[in-house]
Amino acid sequence: MATQLSNALAAFVCAAETGSFAAAGKMLGVSAPAVGQSVKRLEDAYGVGLIRRTTRKMNLTPEGILLYERAKEPLRALDELDGIFRETRSTMSGRIRLTSPRGLGCRLVLPLVAEFRVDYPDIVFELDFTYQQRDFIDDGVDLAFRVLSPEDSSMIARRLTCNEHWTLASPTYLEMHGEPSHPDELSQHRTIVCQKRFSDPMIAWQFDVAGNVRTFPQEPDLILNDPDAICEAATMGMGIIQMRDDYARGLVERGELVPILRGFTAPANALYLCYPYKEHLPLRVRTFIDFVVERMKADEKGCVPHEGFHATRR
């Protein structure tokens, strides 16, 4: 009974919007008489006339106008729900436009996308790896991986991981230049910094010194804008770096880099998956968000202090 009523209401609303039973029937894939019968069933059920018809035109009665205004939005909501629930695993398709910092692109985002597309091969990804912060509206971005949580209240930020910054050098560098015992001594050493744009202000490193976070400006010997290149330069003995633990972990475990200044912790930061608040987020986007959150939760190691690593110098 509910289905018959919703079908009759859909026929009535379509007739009201198109102006004729014939046009409504064409849109709904039924005959004009079938539309007329649906309207007649509604009139009989409610005991009122809904449409006045002449040979030239069709007008809604006051009761018809009231029914149209009350019925159109619920019907559209039902259509939308129907579309959402019909979009199954086998048919889910469309595009997801995603942006992330360049350093996370190949290391994190591509593996996630590759794994997701095993189950959803018809979804097309547009990936933008850049240090520029894209605008969700102007640039048409669906999702963004960001290291800092956005302050915009219209954004939703799902925290994925927590990462520390480790201070590191290669065994070769430490053999040649010695190991600093305090952040104050970094000014006597060669340092390598990451700067997204060379026009940006110079990076300063931060350390927890006796319970207080202090800032130590750097006068670097080498400036790069790619985390992988910075790690590579450090393994070549070119200087001391400060790097997120997820970039440096493997190098430390293999003994290519050694954690230093272990008693002075650098502040941690978090990685977020951000997207604009929308009342009706596409199913493909919601599914990818849930996949990333669950996948990262399974892999998350938490903020592991670098004192836990005891790599030997080569």
CATH homologous superfamily of 94-161+270-299 equals: Periplasmic binding protein-like II (3.40.190.10)
Residue 162 — φ and ψ, nearest 5°? -120, 130
CATH assignment of 163-268, given 3.40.190.290, 3.10.129.10, 3.90.180.10, 3.50.50.60?
3.40.190.290
Domain locations in the chain as residue ranges: 2-86, 94-161+270-299, 163-268
pLDDT in tens, 246-280: 888 889 999 999 999 988 888 887 889 999 877 67
pLDDT in tens, 128-167: 998 788 888 788 889 999 887 556 667 888 888 888 889 9
Tell me whether domains 94-161+270-299 and 163-268 share a fold: yes
In the prediction, which pLDDT does 112 show?
95
| Domain boundaries 2-86, CATH class | mainly alpha
* pLDDT category of residue 198 using cuts at 50, 70 and 90: low
Q: Tokens representing 110? A: 């591509």
Whether the Cβ atoms of residue 150 and residue 277 lie closer than 8 Å to each other = no
In the prediction, which pLDDT does 88 show?
54
Distance of CA 15 to the CA centre of its chain: 41
Residue 175 has pLDDT above 70, yes or no: yes
Average of per-residue pLDDT values in the chain: 83
pLDDT in tens, 36-95: 898 899 888 889 998 987 767 788 999 989 988 998 888 888 877 776 666 554 567 889
Put simply, whether the predicted model's pTM sits higher than 0.95 gets the answer no
If we measure between CA atoms, which residue out of 169, 163, 212 comes closest to residue 192? 169
